[in-house]
Structure 1
């Protein structure tokens, strides 16, 4: 396994594995025995970075979520793995009541909600401190000053280590970070966004986020280049299996002339390296000029082993140039 450092403050920054394991479906679609086996294999291979959220998986039973955190808590206790992994969780997108969703009834990012959500995550995970906490989705009602102040208090008191942000427009990220700097509190240092080798269209709404703005387009990538202290955690790097599975077709997000050219380049590099398409995608991300940590899920040990196979895959400069040049 290879490792990266996230965060800049010596008191809170962490060294994490160059791959992050997504636990979204652990405890629901992926049963406990299988989830434990995947987690054990990940740690055995040197993996240390695990991702969850307080709302995973609310859609499973029209509830509020929490199953993923609860499963991770049971695994942490049974393996006494508290000091061996870095757990990232999120808040802000949990439904307020059962049978609703974050689209129409999200918990939001008020100071009161943040405090209550953190207490719930600490209990479900069975930990005294959250290693990395993300603001999951935008709250367009609560003043940014209130949200930033609440997160900053949690870091100052030691309840939370690092702060992150997901699915926010770039200008909201910068405003929040500017407020944090001006008020002397901790700000967002890790950004989590949907990102893969194929480029999505930006002229149509995307998936569950009908107003778009949740993938790192040109503006956000430029922002990351200008702010070297930030890290990008890329969720859905393998597009839910669409690179390799005929039963998982690409969504309309990728229906544009550039997709066939990039798929052709990807297949050429895979043939040259003897790696799978998925492994080339992950290697392309981890070797990017921007510090990217792919966040991939696995519903079996076999799937995880393919993902882990990308760690030692080093693309040549020529291969990277071929992939980057395809349009």
Structure 2
């Protein structure tokens, strides 16, 4: 009788342990549901919508790949597409130079444990705590040609000849937005690169010094090869962010990519196609917008996959 009771208790305990073990798998379900509703479903919906003709927000006949063809060949849509695509390329290149280049240098300076390093880490990251929309509106005020702080400062220090309508000139508007974005993302890059520097074994650096590697030679021959994982992470994140650039452009220049579409990006152009104003009016082009979303997703995914594969192979060869 006692054996039966002990056996029943043991079975009950085992069931309780099994339930605790399996209940852990229930915790990700809310996050998966939210991810499915706001990420997975829109992707498949966009893919479906891109194969249909649309009359406003009413779905029409199945047209196959016509929307994709029109996006690349039919004016004015193809002109806007390639114009925005070129801006995204420039966005990525300049962010790699200004944001990631400066972040790498600042992270190295902090890594060398200069006085005030902890304060610098905090100060560089502070802009990241602000909303992108808030940052956009603040810098729009700073760059105002009439009363903006930048032009006022240039006038005060005797450099009034350098004053510009920074966001009103097609030659400077996109550059200004990219520099603001670089300022906003600088702190995150510093933290990523600093973490990479701190993960390098001190023995390797000491061995490099014994071999005569100092200063720039140490950075080029020792640190950069060992920083490949951090560089790879920042390159991928910068590429994705550059080709998804929307909030800052929208906050500073609106949905038309003013002036004269000189600040247009693919994400801003998608917004106009899907929600109105694709040719300056209020009409929508849901099919074309969905096709653009699919093209953008495939381009980012394929480029990122190929880059990661290349860098992993290069890292193994090193």
Please classify the TM superposition score into its range, dividing by the shorter chain length: under 0.3
Kindly name which structure, 1 or 2, has the bigger radius of gyration based on alpha carbons.
2
Structure whose residues are more often strand by fraction: 1
Q: Normalising by structure 1, report the TM-score.
A: 0.20
Q: Give the TM-score taking structure 2 as reference length.
A: 0.20
Structure number with greater CO (CA < 8 Å, separation at least 6) is: 2
